[in-house]
Amino acid sequence: MNDSFEKAVKEVNALTVRPDNAELTELYGLYKQVTVGDVDIECPGVFDFAGRAKWKAWNAKKGVSKEDAAAAYIDLAEKLKAKYEK
CATH of residue 44's domain is 1.20.80.10
Q: What pLDDT is stored for residue 86 in this prediction?
A: 67
For 27, 42, 58, the CA distances from 46, given in Å and listed in that order, are 22, 12, 16
In angstroms and rounded to an integer, the radius of gyration of the C-alpha atoms of the chain is 13
H or E element at residue 15:
none
Domain that holds residue 65: 3-84
Question: Average pLDDT per run of 10 along the chain, which is 86 residues long?
Answer: 92 94 96 96 95 96 97 97 87
Q: What pLDDT is stored for residue 1 in this prediction?
A: 65
Q: What is residue 32's DSSP assignment?
A: H
Any idea what the Cα angle at residue 83 is, between residues 50 and 23, rounded to 5°?
15
- Domain count of the fold of the chain: 1
